[in-house]
Amino acid sequence: MPSFPGIPGELAALIARHWPNWPFLVHIDGKGCFTSFRLLQPAPWLATVAAPVETVEDWRRVIHPEDHDLVRNLSERLEKREEVGFELRLLSPPLPPVTGGTTPAQTFRWVRGFALPLAVEDPTGIWVAGSLQDITQERQVLQGLRESEEKFRLLAEESPNMIFINQRGRVIFANRQCEEAMGYTRAEFYSPRFNFLTLIAPESVGYVRQAFQAHMHGKSIAPRDYDLITKDGRRINSLISTNLIRFEGENAILGIITDITERVAIERKLQESERTYRAIFEASPDALLLETLDGEILDCNTPAAALFALPREQLRGRKVQDFVPPQVRAAMDRLTPADLQHDAAWEEIEILTFADTDFQDRKTLME
């Protein structure tokens, strides 16, 4: 253990043994200048900085130029007997130049530290004890997370879908589309008093509660349709897809909402059209057949089943050509789909029914 003038050897040994990471002692003169700096334990990561660090001048050389003002500020605070915490950069040896390329930028390592003045009388200045920790990898991870978050935010802001993050029942992120579609500002979404369940149609609140709890227990939830209620009371038919993610060290729910109001409206119109068609189809006194272009019967109404004297299930799947005399059948077989894609026309033809005694396909129809 090196000796430090003015510092009891027992105190220096106690700091070396019990302080975390890599403890140090530093002396600051009355002008705020560091006159001595020594680590009390060897730090393996110091081998990666730009030069050996044994003297105060060595430390000055390896501290990143952009952090010099920070070090001066720390010195002033320590002279006022304040405890300080800090993060700063130590320069690493530059990477070798790339052949035919530019010289790589100077690299550095991040260290985190704390320091506090010691109650040691010294007329030449003050003694400070502290500790350093290499946090380069932590910083790299944080930088990667920040870059990922920036990419996520960029993509989220450009998305035509509503995207949100809910953590512990609070909305902590909502993209621009959420504001535009729902009518709330982000400040309103993020308020601790905002209840996200107010966005859900009353009939779906129970399901959303269950889904939220299931997510919190690590379970996956399939996408589901339900209505959202905007700030002005309008309903938005929505398809909501949610996934459990880790956000700032805690579980959170990432949701993507697709507005399907237009799709739902189209589906309802189609259903209404189908009901209208079915009502007309069934109510017609005429025999009606629904068939493909090549003559396969897809459906028929009650008068058609009566006309052919067959149940509907036996008519479906048969060819219309099976119910006409041979001479008409030959003419129908020569028709192409293009011949049938014209305006409707009336044609009188003779047909065969199950009641006809000379119906040659009777046995097949009965099978």
Query: Strands 224-229, 170-174: parallel, antiparallel or unpaired by DSSP?
Result: unpaired
Which residues sit opposite 37 in a β-bridge?
26
Q: Does residue 246 sit in the same domain as residue 320?
A: no
- If pLDDT is split at 50, 70 and 90, which confidence band does 366 have? very low
Q: For 276-297, what is the mean pLDDT?
A: 84
- The answer to whether residue 103 sits within a structural domain is yes
199-226 confidence digits (pLDDT tens)? 999 999 999 999 888 888 888 888 888 8
DSSP H stretches of helix in 183-325: 186-190, 205-216, 261-283, 302-308, 312-315
Q: Does residue 191 sit in the same domain as residue 96?
A: no
92-126 confidence digits (pLDDT tens)? 765 455 455 555 555 788 888 888 888 777 777 88
Which residues sit opposite 27 in a β-bridge?
36, 127
Q: Is the pLDDT of residue 179 over 90?
A: yes
CA–CA distance, 359 with 145 (Å, rounded to integer):
79
Q: Is the pLDDT of residue 347 over 60?
A: no
Select from 89, 107, 134 the last residue of a domain. Answer: 134
Q: What percent of the chain has pLDDT over 70?
A: 75
53-65 confidence digits (pLDDT tens)? 566 677 777 888 8
CA–CA distance, 251 with 239 (Å, rounded to integer):
22
- The answer to whether residue 276 sits within a structural domain is no
- pLDDT of res. 34: 67
Query: Residue 132 CB: number of other CB atoms within 10 A?
Result: 22
Q: Does residue 108 sit in the same domain as residue 152?
A: no
Q: Does residue 35 sit in the same domain as residue 103?
A: yes
C-beta of residue 112 within 8 angstroms of C-beta of residue 74? no
Written as one string, the DSSP assignment of 345-365 is ---------TT-TT-TTHHHH
CA–CA distance, 222 with 240 (Å, rounded to integer):
9
- The answer to whether residue 315 sits within a structural domain is yes
Q: Does residue 343 sit in the same domain as residue 251?
A: no
288-306 confidence digits (pLDDT tens)? 888 887 788 888 888 888 8
Would the CA dihedral through 350, 352, 357, 358 be positive or negative? positive
- The answer to whether residue 272 sits within a structural domain is no
Contacts for 203-210 with beta carbons within 8 Å, 24 or more apart?
203/227
Written as one string, the DSSP assignment of 43-105 is -GGGGGSSS---SHHHHHHHB-GGGHHHHHHHHHHHHTT--EEEEEEEE-PPPPPPTTSPPPP
Q: Does residue 291 sit in the same domain as residue 235?
A: no
3-state SS class at 118:
coil
Q: For 158-162, what is the mean pLDDT?
A: 89
The total number of structural domains in the chain stands at 3
Residue (of 290, 212, 306) closest to 251 by Cα position = 212
Domain containing residue 305: 285-366
C-beta of residue 131 within 8 angstroms of C-beta of residue 24? yes
231-249 confidence digits (pLDDT tens)? 999 999 998 988 888 877 7
Tokens encoding 216: 């919190």
C-beta of residue 39 within 8 angstroms of C-beta of residue 130? no
Q: Does residue 171 sit in the same domain as residue 232?
A: yes
- The answer to whether residue 156 sits within a structural domain is yes
* Whole-number CA gyration radius for the chain: 41
- The answer to whether residue 222 sits within a structural domain is yes
- pLDDT of res. 361: 45
CA–CA distance, 186 with 236 (Å, rounded to integer):
19
Q: In what order do the strands lie in the sheet with 34-39?
A: 34-39, 22-29, 125-134, 108-117, 84-91
Select from 209, 230, 263 the last residue of a domain. Answer: 263
- The answer to whether residue 246 sits within a structural domain is yes
Select from 110, 134, 158 the last residue of a domain. Answer: 134
Which residues sit opposite 36 in a β-bridge?
27
Q: Does residue 194 sit in the same domain as residue 222?
A: yes
Query: Strands 162-167, 125-134: parallel, antiparallel or unpaired by DSSP?
Result: unpaired
- The answer to whether residue 129 sits within a structural domain is yes
Q: Does residue 295 sit in the same domain as residue 237?
A: no
- CATH value at residue 186: 3.30.450.20
